[in-house]
Amino acid sequence: MITKEEAKKRIEKLSKELEEHNYKYYVQARPSISDYEFDMMMKELVDLEKKYPELVSADSPTQRVGGAITKEFKAVKHDYPFLSLDNSYSREDLEDFDTRVRKGVAGEIEYVCELKYDGVAIGLKYEHGKLKQAVTRGDGEQGDDVTANVKTIRSIPLTLKEKNFPDKFEIRGEIFMPHKIFEQINKEREESGDPPFANPRNSSAGTLKMQDSAEVAKRKLDCIMYVMYAKEIHFKSHYESLKEAKNWGFKVSEFVAKCRSLAEIFEFIDYWDVHRKKLPFDIDGVVIKVNSYDQQKVLGFTAKSPRWAMSYKFKAETAATILEEITYQVGRTGAITPVANLKPVHLGGTTVKRASLHNADIIEKLDVRVGDTVFVEKGGEIIPKITGVDLKKRPAQSHKTKYISKCPECGTELVRGEEEAKHYCPNEWGCPPQIKGNMSHFTSRKAMNIDSLGEETINLLYEKGFIKNIADIYELKKHKAELMKIDRLGEKSVSNLLAGIEESKNVPFERVLYALGIRHVGETLAKKLARGLQTIDAIINASEEQLTATNDIGVEVAGSIKSFFHEKKNKELIERLKNHRLQFESIHSTQSPQSTKLTGLTFVISGVFTKFSRDDLKDMIEQNGGKVVGSVSGKTSYLIAGENMGPEKLKKAEKLGVKIIDENEFEKMIK
Ligand code: IVH
């Protein structure tokens, strides 16, 4: 058994080494050990911290996995105002900037050019080399404390390297989401019926404000630093500050250039205007800063921005072409998207034939008409968009676009909620793309995973009248003989199809719940709901308060769940699916405890665990007759402590003499 003194030393050593490997992997992209070795060291640290929870520090590498829940982000006043940058869009603007700078300060001027990252600005405060607080920009005077979420970003050091940093300083930079992660998240959102994020910037902002930091950890945000503030700084220029920040362990832009003339600045801009397309993340321009701190001081600030810096925004790539037709798409949720069908045009390396027109308001605002010459733009968005009309080229006989009032697929009168940008077709039970879309979602891999029943087969069986809703899928076996007569199917594929459908009856409840396609209930939420409320009946009968007690479920989502189950047709569908024996209860049901080993005992679970999830532990306690409560009191029998647990809870438990155990000890209790 390792003594506390020894554990302390080992924890310190492991923490230091893990942070170093983390740095090598995420900042330098040059790992020197294998993932396995890294995981083993992390496991050792987790185990030690579990044994001695009082030795867990706020900057332990174990904090990276998240687990802390923030219900409301605390407002924090900035120590230094959070300024923005003056924007320029043309070379003339930059020439004016250079002239102003040269008028303002005497002597040679050196500029630093760097990339303008398109994400969310963040201020990180460090004291004695430790990350103390991370605050968003907010309104410039005060922002939100998002420390727990920011700690999960691997490229942000929790403890600094080297020793020559000021005791107290703030460093600011941009949190952003690499393209690959962005695409993955949007795919998941579309699968759960949530509107996709328009661009990686919105996606980063949304992620940073999530309540559950373990979810943030999964989103793999990145962060690059670009400005430093401290009362006493020992270096003399911005360039040096970046170099030093890099030595302390921060990720700073590797693409910086010192420039002495406008010509050199333009060269940097031109290079990046072309090469930005190859970067794995978005930039929207270049930032030009006066390098010398002394000169910066002389130039000073306006109310909003420094006079020593200027951003140059890249023009989004645009092309002009003819709008040939506007068509309307109906999504799985009934949302209508107007689509511009264009005369094919070359834009940013691809041929564009279609562009999104978003909604009725945008069409109205731009007054786009069929036959118009329109400007198409490819910005940070995934699908190109129409940004304007060349009115000079408008044909004499053009007609104002009249937005459709009926669904193009089923003819139902469209509706539009007061706050909604989009029109919806309310005929969810009779509108073919909605029905087929719902069935495709139901059979998709992350839902019921019936891969023998993909989109094409669904279309076929729907057109032939075999399936009209998800419950019909389970009645297909009655029609085996007829199915085999369909040209495109044949005996083998029908057998496969039916076997896949049977197999899906074993899919666990949380995925069945996701498969139902309740608006806003994605994979993660379905899991939380299934684990929290255990059975479909409990979810159907849950009050709004019970629903919102689950993390990440707000009033809107609770409302969507309630209205889904309020619908008679949905109730009927669920009854039919129950009769077909799909899983409508979590396997670890609280309904009937399987043992009484823990009867009469009350547990508090805190922190993050390696073997089990918090929900697993809760299930295990309840299955054995125990009770789980949220906060430590005199009545608590045990505190099950994981990594990253709240220090307050620990203190309280120690004060009240509550027994503190880890997940292994707990496991022994019920074995
Ligand atoms: S310096 C006082 N450098 O752009 C100067 N900002 O439009 C502080 N940004 O608020 C900003 N890349 O969120 C600076 N290399 C860079 C940047 C950058 C992106 C963002 C930042 C700022 C906004 C201003």
Q: Do 465 and 527 fall within a single domain? A: no
Give the residue from 46, 42, 48 showing the smallest Cα distance to 3.
48
Q: Do 497 and 517 fall within a single domain? A: no
Which of the two residues, 552 and 333, has the higher pLDDT score?
Answer: 333
Cα 172 to middle of ligand 1, angstroms: 9
Lowest mean pLDDT segment, chosen from 18-27, 305-314, 340-349, 444-453: 340-349
Q: Do 110 and 225 fall within a single domain? A: yes
Q: Which of 88, 112, 117 is the pocket-test mutation for ligand 1 (most atoms within 8 Å of CB)?
A: 117
Which of the listed residues 488, 506, 524 is the one where a domain comes to its end? 506
Residue-range definition of the domain harbouring residue 231: 86-313
Which of the listed residues 589, 613, 633 is the one where a domain comes to its end? 589
Q: Do 293 and 157 fall within a single domain? A: yes
* Structure confidence at residue 313 as a pLDDT band (50, 70, 90): very high
Give the atom of ligand 1 at the shortest distance from the alpha carbon of 120: 13
Q: Which CB contacts under 8 angstroms, 24+ apart, belong to 428-436?
A: 428/334, 429/469, 429/569, 431/330, 431/334, 431/407, 432/462, 433/330, 433/331, 433/332, 433/409, 434/330, 434/331, 434/332, 434/333, 434/334, 435/462, 435/468, 435/469, 436/462
Which of the listed residues 544, 560, 589 is the one where a domain comes to its end? 589
Which of the two residues, 645 and 466, has the higher pLDDT score?
Answer: 466
The answer, yes or no, to whether residue 181 has pLDDT greater than 60, is yes
Work out the angle at residue 413's Cα, subtended by the Cα atoms of residues 332 and 442, and round it to the nearest 5 degrees: 15
Residue of 116, 251, 378, 528 marked active site? 116
Q: Do 108 and 235 fall within a single domain? A: yes
Compute the mean pLDDT over every residue in the chain, rounded to the nearest whole number: 90
Distance CA 326, CA 341 (A): 6
Domain with residue 196: its CATH number is: 3.30.470.30
Residue 403 lies in a domain: no
172 near 233, Cβ under 8 Å?
no
Check residue 348 and give its pLDDT.
66
Check residue 478 and give its pLDDT.
95
The answer, yes or no, to whether residue 458 has pLDDT greater than 50, is yes
Residue 472 lies in a domain: yes
Distance CA 440, CA 431 (A): 14
Lowest mean pLDDT segment, chosen from 57-61, 107-111, 456-460: 57-61
The answer, yes or no, to whether residue 589 has pLDDT greater than 60, is no
CA 75 to chain centre: 22
Check residue 618 and give its pLDDT.
85
Domain with residue 563: its CATH number is: 1.10.150.20
Q: Do 328 and 463 fall within a single domain? A: no
Condensed to tens digits (0 to 9), the pLDDT of residues 96-119 reads: 999 999 999 989 999 999 999 999
Q: Do 574 and 630 fall within a single domain? A: no
Check residue 590 and give its pLDDT.
47
Residue 300 lies in a domain: yes
Cα 227 to middle of ligand 1, angstroms: 8
Give the residue from 671, 604, 601 showing the smallest Cα distance to 640.
604
Residue 259 lies in a domain: yes
Condensed to tens digits (0 to 9), the pLDDT of residues 223-259 reads: 999 999 999 888 999 999 999 999 999 999 889 999 9
pLDDT mean over 292-312: 94
End-to-end CA distance of the chain: 23
Q: Do 517 and 566 fall within a single domain? A: yes
Domain with residue 366: its CATH number is: 2.40.50.140
632 near 602, Cβ under 8 Å?
no
Domain with residue 38: its CATH number is: 1.10.287.610
Check residue 79 and give its pLDDT.
94
Max CA-CA distance within the chain? 91
Residue whose CA lies nearest to ligand 1 atom number 10: 84
Which of the two residues, 155 and 162, has the higher pLDDT score?
Answer: 155
116 catalytically annotated = yes
Q: Do 309 and 334 fall within a single domain? A: no
Q: Would the pTM count as exceeding 0.85?
A: no
Residue 427 lies in a domain: no
Give the atom of ligand 1 at the shortest distance from the alpha carbon of 305: 2
Q: Which of 80, 84, 250 is the pocket-test mutation for ligand 1 (most atoms within 8 Å of CB)?
A: 84
Q: Do 103 and 247 fall within a single domain? A: yes
Q: Do 58 and 98 fall within a single domain? A: no
Domain with residue 641: its CATH number is: 3.40.50.10190
The shares of helix, strand and coil residues in the chain, as percent rounded to the nearest 5, are 40, 20, 40
Residue 78 lies in a domain: no
Residue 363 lies in a domain: yes
Q: Which of 114, 122, 201, 226 is the pocket-test mutation for ligand 1 (most atoms within 8 Å of CB)?
A: 226
Cα 277 to middle of ligand 1, angstroms: 20
Highest mean pLDDT among 196-205, 351-360, 503-512: 503-512
CA 546 to chain centre: 25
Condensed to tens digits (0 to 9), the pLDDT of residues 405-433 reads: 999 999 999 999 888 889 999 999 999 99
Please report which helix (H) or strand (E) contains residue 176, including its range.
strand 168-176
Residue 629 lies in a domain: yes
Cα 99 to middle of ligand 1, angstroms: 22
* Structure confidence at residue 503 as a pLDDT band (50, 70, 90): very high
Name residues contacting ligand 1 (CB within 6 A): 83-85, 114, 116-117, 121, 174, 226-227, 287, 306, 309, 311
Check residue 497 and give its pLDDT.
94
Condensed to tens digits (0 to 9), the pLDDT of residues 551-579 reads: 778 888 999 999 999 999 999 999 999 99
pLDDT mean over 179-193: 82
Cα 657 to middle of ligand 1, angstroms: 51
Number of structural domains in the chain: 6
* Structure confidence at residue 632 as a pLDDT band (50, 70, 90): confident
Distance CA 181, CA 78 (A): 30
Check residue 548 and give its pLDDT.
87
**Encoded tokens for 535:** 């059975």
Cα 287 to middle of ligand 1, angstroms: 7
Output the CA torsion sign for 279, 283, 285, 286.
negative
Give the atom of ligand 1 at the shortest distance from the alpha carbon of 116: 12
Give the atom of ligand 1 at the shortest distance from the alpha carbon of 309: 5
Check residue 588 and give its pLDDT.
56
Q: Do 474 and 552 fall within a single domain? A: no
**Dihedral pair phi/psi, residue 502, rounded to 5°:** -60, -45
